[in-house]
Structure 1
Amino acid sequence: MLEKFGHGGDLLTAAGLYGLEAGQFVDFSANMNPHGPPDAVRAVLQRYAETIGSYPDPAVRGLRRKLALHHGVEEGSVLVGNGAAELIDLVVRLLLPSEVILAQPCFVEYGDAARKCGIPIRTVALAAEERFALTEQAVRHTMANMRDQGIATGTALWFLGSPNNPTGQLIDAGVIRLLLAEGERVVLDEAFMDFVAEEKAYSFISEAASGYGDRLIVIRSMTKFYAIPGIRLGYMVADEALIAGLSELQVPWSVNSLAQQIGEAVLDDISYAERTMAWLKEERPWLTQQLEQLGLDVAPGHVNYVLFRIPRSFNLKASELQQLMGERGVLIRDASHFEGLGEGYCRIAVRFRQEHELLLQTLREVLAGRKAGGR
């Protein structure tokens, strides 16, 4: 399978599976901004040789300062890490909750971090019939079950994605506030929040920086929006005392100097952000409409990827569609590997119109072949 290491974007594995060179694929399996890195990244790379001989700033002060100004929080409330994955792992290791609660389907690394520490996992199912929304009813039901089983309030840890990966759904603010009002601890993964047009209305960064102690943590990724996955870069915002504790647990120099310089540079590129939002506003609705016209069931979402289900009438599993598309040079994500999704679910990134047209034409060929009983 393409997701050999649990993620999309693995061109080397794709080359081995489908018999093409890595550069021959059009990759819809990884949710990166198709504009590529901002021009500022190239400028940083060109001058980086001048500073590579020096140690990076162990406190990442320049980037933390910029991120704090960007979000209107105190610098002490920000911790930068080697991608969001490191930060997820740090939170679990420091807080060591009685259990981790996942609203599935969700990002696999929440559960991975819990399993590495031997922490039990409790799941809340997100239903397609409810547009994969996490409802207050489901939250209240889960909390009631926890109390009945002797799980004390505030000892567990809820890991929630908003927007959620792979569904693209935002969590209603009322659900988050309910959890906090009940004394629960919440890690809110906002890795794709930069792609949301009304970001400030949905983000909980300001709340995380003050007033909730260790009960609200917001994690962000810089690799998706700025298309720099090769530079592992993420950050979290939380109460200053909690950030200090996490910082002590962090491996020294986990954020290298190149990542720090690139992080500072991309935050200044306002035109890049505006161009990205204008592209997404046009391309996501168009792609959704085209997929629906092919007879696919598209889940509603807000960001730079689309989750869809292959109806049973096609007699085609997601793994089979991925194989047939990959053989034709188009990579998609088999989303059936996400807990809580069936064998007919796929996820694709939103890219440019010309690439979408290639994707759609390849899908037409494959789906028509299945209806005709061929391969």
Structure 2
Amino acid sequence: MSTTTPVPSTWDTKTQTFHGGQEYRFIENFVEDFSVTTNYLGTPKGALDAAREAISTCHHYPPANQEPAKSSLAEFLWPTDYLDQRDRLLLGNGASELIDLVIRMANKTIQSDQVKTWKSGPWDTQYKEYYRSAETAEMRILNGDSTERANVLCIVNPCNPTGDYMPLDQIKTWINDNVYDGGFVIVDESMQPWHSANFREDSLTSQGTFAAELYATRNISLYVLHSWTKIWSCTGLRLGSIICPTVEHCAGLRKIQVPWSVNTPAMAFMDAVVKDDQYMQQTWEGTSRLRRYLIEQLSALLAAQREQFEYKGKDFLSWVWVDMKNEEVATEAVKLARAAGVPVRSGQPGYQRPTYVRVAVREESCVDILVQAWKSL
């Protein structure tokens, strides 16, 4: 007897960009969600308790200045000089709202006599919300591997789903080489804090001087964006932030942002979670170990096809991008995982990579269930 029910259409494919994480509620024997790249540790308890407590104040509006959550996040990002940096920071209703704000600002700011061009990072594919926003703004879309400069660059670094990553010096060079003067750049570092306890040292969050010089010398506006819903496993709360090149840029975004877009429980969660040092330490210690375990188990299971399967992405990341080299095998893998209550993300919808599946890092016991389900591959 089947333990799954048909998945209703949760997406309007004509108007929305496909995203994972929708299947779990339709799987009767659901065990664990391998289709989303959230932290294997789950939601931090202290922050979740803070969000629950904040529900009791839902009869009041959230603070319009986003405090104290914004200052707390600023201190997490810039432990030694957060007061100097804080006013370049803006919180949003997940990353998607902030992507939309910057694309709207770029569309309004770039000279009307210019053909507005948009380009992604040089990866094989990346998170599609940037593409959707540029398409909605009627920008001309360039291929990521194009040598042509663009008015608007949007790069996900580390790239979800491919796992590619440019270290700091490399991405600064790439930005300089790929955007026109007067252009806009969004660098999405949502997965970068997984890097290590020293993630700030290899992050554009540490490059305020670089951003200021880009704007002063070439009129290029560099924004660094984070979706915090993956590392702190709170996708339902919708928490994002963006670092602007100047305080004035931040004021410009705030002017077109919908008021109170970040709700009270989300801000309470943010204010608490950034102080949970133990959770972050466990994340850095456990993710790479469990990622190795996942790859080892899949490699052992699929030993006969070892030369055909590729496991892509940096060691510190919370998922593996698996190229199964065969569309039928990948399709079957998705079906088998779902039937076992451990759904994975197909590379076909959204990314148009039918031979790939994306598998999140999870605890060993859940990986074992997935491996058992894939024994017939």
Q: Give the TM-score, by structure 2 length.
A: 0.82
Cα distance in 2, alignment partners of residues 274 and 115 from structure 1: 39
Aligned pair 1:203/2:209, yes or no? Answer: no
SS in 2 for 1:218: strand
CA contact (8 A) 1:28 1:348 kept: yes
CA contact (8 A) 1:34 1:352 kept: yes
Aligned pair 1:350/2:364, yes or no? Answer: no
Cα distance in 2, alignment partners of residues 34 and 300 from structure 1: 17
Decide which moves more: 170-179 or 352-361: 170-179
1:1-375 matches, within 5 Å, as 5=11, 6-11=18-23, 15=26, 20-21=27-28, 24-72=30-78, 73=82, 74-96=85-107, 98-103=116-121, 104-125=124-145, 142-143=146-147, 145-146=148-149, 156-182=151-177, 184=179, 185-197=184-196, 198-208=198-208, 210-211=211-212, 212-213=214-215, 214-239=220-245, 240-293=247-300, 294=302, 295=306, 296-301=309-314, 302-312=316-326, 316-339=328-351, 342-364=353-375, 366-367=376-377
CA contact (8 A) 1:208 1:216 kept: no
Q: Deviations over 1:70-122 (max 9, x none)?
A: 22241111010000011111110011161210134000101011112111211
Instruction: Give, in angstroms, the shift of residue 317 of structure 1.
Output: 4.1
Cα distance in 2, alignment partners of residues 238 and 49 from structure 1: 30
**Residue aligning to 1:152:** none
SS in 2 for 1:217: strand
Instruction: Give, in angstroms, the shift of residue 319 of structure 1.
Output: 2.8
CA contact (8 A) 2:55 2:264 kept: no
Cα distance in 2, alignment partners of residues 121 and 4 from structure 1: 27
SS in 2 for 1:111: helix
Instruction: Give, in angstroms, the shift of residue 28 of structure 1.
Output: 0.4
CA contact (8 A) 1:191 1:220 kept: yes
Structure 1 gaps, min length 5: 126-141, 147-154, 368-375
CA contact (8 A) 2:118 2:139 kept: yes
CA contact (8 A) 2:21 2:33 kept: yes
CA contact (8 A) 2:99 2:133 kept: yes
Cα distance in 1, alignment partners of residues 178 and 19 from structure 2: 33
CA contact (8 A) 2:77 2:205 kept: yes
**Residue aligning to 1:133:** none
CA contact (8 A) 1:179 1:186 kept: no
Q: How many residues of Structure 1 are paired with residues of Structure 2 in the alignment?
A: 332
Q: Give, as a single letter, the amino acid of the residue that structure 1 aligns with 2:240.
A: G
**Residue aligning to 1:371:** none
Decide which moves more: 173-182 or 348-357: 173-182
CA contact (8 A) 2:325 2:356 kept: no
SS in 2 for 1:355: helix
Cα distance in 1, alignment partners of residues 322 and 331 from structure 2: 13
Decide which moves more: 207-216 or 53-62: 207-216
Q: Which runs of 4+ in 1 moved over 3 A?
A: 1-5, 179-183
Cα distance in 2, alignment partners of residues 173 and 233 from structure 1: 25
CA contact (8 A) 1:208 1:217 kept: no
Cα distance in 1, alignment partners of residues 174 and 283 from structure 2: 33
Instruction: Give, in angstroms, the shift of residue 203 of structure 1.
Output: 0.9
Q: Which one has the bigger helix percentage?
A: 1
Q: Give, as a single letter, the amino acid of the residue that structure 1 aligns with 2:292.
A: P
CA contact (8 A) 2:37 2:230 kept: yes
SS in 2 for 1:346: strand
Cα distance in 2, alignment partners of residues 203 and 191 from structure 1: 11
Cα gap change, 1:65/1:160 in structure 2, threshold over 3 Å: closer, same or farther?
same
Instruction: Give, in angstroms, the shift of residue 39 of structure 1.
Output: 1.7
Cα distance in 2, alignment partners of residues 45 and 181 from structure 1: 41
CA contact (8 A) 1:208 1:238 kept: no
CA contact (8 A) 2:51 2:266 kept: no
SS in 2 for 1:357: helix
Cα gap change, 1:299/1:180 in structure 2, threshold over 3 Å: closer, same or farther?
closer
Q: Deviations over 1:201-222 (max 9, x none)?
A: 3210122475133531110111
Decide which moves more: 57-66 or 180-189: 180-189
CA contact (8 A) 1:180 1:215 kept: no
Cα gap change, 1:297/1:250 in structure 2, threshold over 3 Å: closer, same or farther?
same
Q: Deviations over 1:35-69 (max 9, x none)?
A: 22112124214422442221101120211111222
Cα distance in 1, alignment partners of residues 34 and 178 from structure 2: 40
Structure 2 gaps, min length 5: 1-5, 12-17, 111-115
